[in-house]
Amino acid sequence: MKKRVTIAELGRLSGVGVETVRYYQRLGLISVPSVRDLRSHRRYGADAVAELNFVRRCKELGFSLKEIAVLAKLRRSPRGSCTALHERLCDLSAALDAKWKQLASQREAVRSLLEACGGGKSLAECEAYARIQEGTAADAETGQ
């Protein structure tokens, strides 16, 4: 990208909306350009597209916007150590492992309910419905 673009063009190039670009700027995830055209509109260069792509990739990996702000700051000083990045990747990996375990547990519970329910019965006769009701009552009693 040789020329500088408007915020709308930047959004199109990066696959995000104008309000998202502005929001990311407010959070410090991407830089606010100092270059303006004759009508005082900000003009963005290739670096802005790279910043937005970096943010989008971090989101795809599962980082929170707060964590992305830290990573964006690290990105702006590439000669620094990657220790902070490594620590955040370790934390994200652990969080994803925990989420994976939770999802696996939920999947097994749903499969168990599917085995108990062949469909076609009334709710009063449905074993899966009864198990869900019992679980709901038990959760209420324990305060969960």
Buried b / exposed e over 54-77, threshold 16 CB at 10 Å, is bbbebeeeebeeebbbbbbebbee
Q: Confirm if 14 and 52 have CB atoms less than 8 A apart.
A: yes
pTM here? 0.74
For residue 74, pLDDT over 60 is answered with yes
pLDDT digits (tens, 9 = 90+) for 101-144: 999 999 999 999 999 998 999 999 999 999 999 886 555 455 55
